[in-house]
Amino acid sequence: MKKTNAILIMICLLGIWATSCVKENETINNSKKQEKTAIAKRFGNVNLKSASDFSGSYSLFSKVGHTANSCNNSCVMLGGKRGHINCQGPGNLCNLSASISVTNTDPENPENILYNAIGLFDYEPTDDTTFFMPDRSYYIEDDNFENGYIYLNIPTQILNRDAASNQFLYYNITFTEAALFDNL
């Protein structure tokens, strides 16, 4: 009788331990989903030429900007004076959406990981002549990627317009399996 009770107690303890592990994993998975505050959606199919070539068109969605009080009205240099531009720079005050066409900076070199992009529409992300782009890691929602976790990373930069097309230019974009930036 004692041996049977000991076995039952061991089975119960094992069951409690296994259940707690499952709950812990659910919490981790939920927190990873919540971290995806910036999303990119790819237009069309993945370039089949190379699994590591992420060239193509993407729609970007995230939050940017902060109040003038948050940066003491001095976060950017405007005409030689410190100032603030609403809905630009770090923060999460405003919605950002932009469509871009991404190209590899050196497609002949498979080791190259840097990409550049040009905007597709005049008014995205703003109709101003420049845009203070904060660093952002966009989770790419695309079922065609095998591992399912690919991020498009844009470092902090001042976006300027191309003289010929009047579209914003983005530089030094990378693609990684983990987010490089916290999107703050």
| pTM of structure | 0.75
Low-confidence ranges of the chain (pLDDT < 70): 1-35, 45-52, 143-149
| Helix, strand, coil percentages in the chain from 3-state DSSP, rounded to 5 | 20, 35, 45
The two three-digit tokens of residue 117, written as one number: 């992009």
Instruction: Please give the Cα distance from 181 to 28 (Å, whole number).
Output: 19
DSSP secondary structure string for all residues of 31-83: HHHHT--SEEEE-S---TT-TT---EEEEEEEEE---GGGGTT-SEEETTEEE
CA distance 122 to 49: 30
Cα Rg of the chain (Å, integer): 23
**Other CB atoms closer than 10 Å to residue 49's CB: what's the count?**
9
> pLDDT tens across 63-89, in order?
999 988 888 888 887 788 888 888 999
